[in-house]
Structure 1
Amino acid sequence: MKGLKELLEKVKNGELEVEEPLEELKFLPYKDLEHTKIDTHRELRRGYPEAVLCEGKSKEQILEILQGYPDDQTVIATRADEETYEFVKENIDDAIYHKKAGIIQVGEGREKEEGVISVVTGGTSDERVAEECAVSAEVMGNKVHRVYDVGMAGVHRIFSNLDRIRDSSVIVVVAGMEGALPGLVSGLVSAPVIGVPTSQGYGTHLGGISPLLTMLNSCSPGLSVVNIDNGYGAAYQASLINGGK
């Protein structure tokens, strides 16, 4: 909404006629593309623009949605594959692809907040979800520490990285299997901890239900939990804690 604010300032200062900002104002609070109603007002209302979830959408729909945002807004598209990115890149020059995260980014992102978000994983298999979280948080204007593969099977790895983890405003812990790692980390730090259960596991792991229930039943206060594989949701919550608007 930076562009809208500049327009209104110019009207206030007599540099523009009142009618000129109406073209942009008419798209508030949303732009109707028939298949999608783009919430162009969300950054003004909540502090961050909405993200485009690519799953279930065609490449053409994703491109049209990304092109529908104001030019001054940074937008990300999550759960994007390389084929979708290549299609978007042909039409949006400044689009970049974060392969490990599966994120397409259009725009430069926000200025960095002073605090740090640490993203911690139990195992290497959790990296895709962790990178979705880390990249989303960086685009939202946060400095991010990545501390990967420090799970419960070798708990000494946490202690050798503990100083770095404690130097954080908020900590996101991504874990599959039994999902005990967020509770352990929460008991060792003074910052809020956000647990992200992943779908990595076997049999009675039930696609992430087991670590989700473990995290929800943790006895460590200060631990909150998002849904299975929801790296973006964890990044959003962590960003609100770290810097807000």
Structure 2
Amino acid sequence: MEFVFDWQRGARTGVSEAVLCGAKSPAQIGFILGEARARRARLLLTRLEPAAFAGLDEDARAGLDYDPLSHTAVLGGPVPTVAGAVAVVAAGTSDLPVAREAARTLAFSGHEALLIADVGVAGLWRLMARIEEIRTCRVVIAVAGMEGALFSVLGGLVSAPVIAVPSSVGYGVAEGGRAALHSALASCAPGVVVVNIDNGFGAACAALKMLGARAAG
């Protein structure tokens, strides 16, 4: 079994390589975990379904912090986190798996996200009740399915950049997240950028790079 894992990516790009587990066998995931342990390296695993986690042997699961909601796991324990830099705002509780993936990716890199859920525009008062908290953050990650209206609404209410994450929550023409994706891409609100459907990890990485660029500036 041969893998070429990019152990130096964090030093080179500011964002460490994560293990995308969806298409990997338990043996392959276990091998990568063994390599990480040999290097005493911390590791983030994404798209690790509960059945796949259960399929790992005892040695592979040892020391893994697994979150079944976001399908993420962390090897190597937590690091001290700084709060207040990023808000992760989810339109509905159904969007929480994607929002939690973003929040867990941020925590892996030392940022505790302000996670706010169930503030979709169907009840706009819920968002307005939390908007002052959201405005304190330097980057906002917005997760929404259905028609994706949350992206433009937030873009018109905050000064921070908004990273839109269309989620695959929805039915009919919204099924699969494409309606939310098109809404995000067509937003007329300035400062809204878009990642792929359900890509909470990618949104968090973009936020980390934004924070890094601002710190360097």
Q: Which has the higher helix share?
A: 2
Letter in 2 for 1:52: V
1:45-87: per-residue Cα shift (whole Å, max 9, x none)?
Answer: 1123211111111011011112223634321111112343345
Any gaps of 5 or more consecutive residues in structure 1? 1-32
Equivalent pair of 2:83/2:114 in contact (CA under 8 Å)? no
In the alignment, what sits opposite 2:18?
Answer: 51
Q: Percent identity?
A: 40
1:218 deviates by: 0.5
Name the SS of the counterpart of 1:125 in structure 2.
helix
Equivalent pair of 1:113/1:243 in contact (CA under 8 Å)? no
In the alignment, what sits opposite 2:167?
Answer: 198
Which of 181, 188, 196 in structure 2 is aligned with 1:219? Answer: 188
1:18-42: per-residue Cα shift (whole Å, max 9, x none)?
Answer: xxxxxxxxxxxxxxx52x3211221
**Mapping for residues 23-62 of structure 1, pairs under 5 Å:** 33-34=1-2, 36-62=3-29
Letter in 2 for 1:44: A
In the alignment, what sits opposite 1:81?
Answer: 49
Q: 1:107 to 1:153 in 2, by over 3 A?
A: same
Name the SS of the counterpart of 2:115 in structure 1.
strand
Letter in 2 for 1:234: A
Distance, in Å, in 2 between the alignment partners of 1:112 and 1:96 is: 16
Q: 1:89 to 1:188 in 2, by over 3 A?
A: farther
Equivalent pair of 1:54/1:62 in contact (CA under 8 Å)? yes
What root-mean-square deviation, in Å, do the aligned CA atoms of Structure 1 and Structure 2 show?
Answer: 1.8
Equivalent pair of 1:170/1:193 in contact (CA under 8 Å)? yes
In the alignment, what sits opposite 1:147?
Answer: 116
Give the TM-score normalised by the residue count of structure 2: 0.91
Distance, in Å, in 2 between the alignment partners of 1:103 and 1:89 is: 17
Q: 1:113 to 1:241 in 2, by over 3 A?
A: farther
Distance, in Å, in 2 between the alignment partners of 1:195 and 1:76 is: 22
Distance, in Å, in 2 between the alignment partners of 1:74 and 1:57 is: 19
1:73-111: per-residue Cα shift (whole Å, max 9, x none)?
Answer: 321111112343345471143211112111111013444
**Mapping for residues 16-165 of structure 1, pairs under 5 Å:** 33-34=1-2, 36-69=3-36, 71-88=39-56, 90-92=58-60, 93-113=62-82, 115-165=84-134
1:167 deviates by: 1.1
Q: 1:85 to 1:234 in 2, by over 3 A?
A: same
Any gaps of 5 or more consecutive residues in structure 2? none
Equivalent pair of 2:70/2:101 in contact (CA under 8 Å)? yes
Letter in 1 for 2:28: Q
Instruction: Extract structure 1 runs of 4+ deviating beyond 2 A.
Output: 69-73, 81-89, 108-115, 242-245
Give the TM-score normalised by the residue count of structure 1: 0.81
Q: 1:162 to 1:89 in 2, by over 3 A?
A: farther
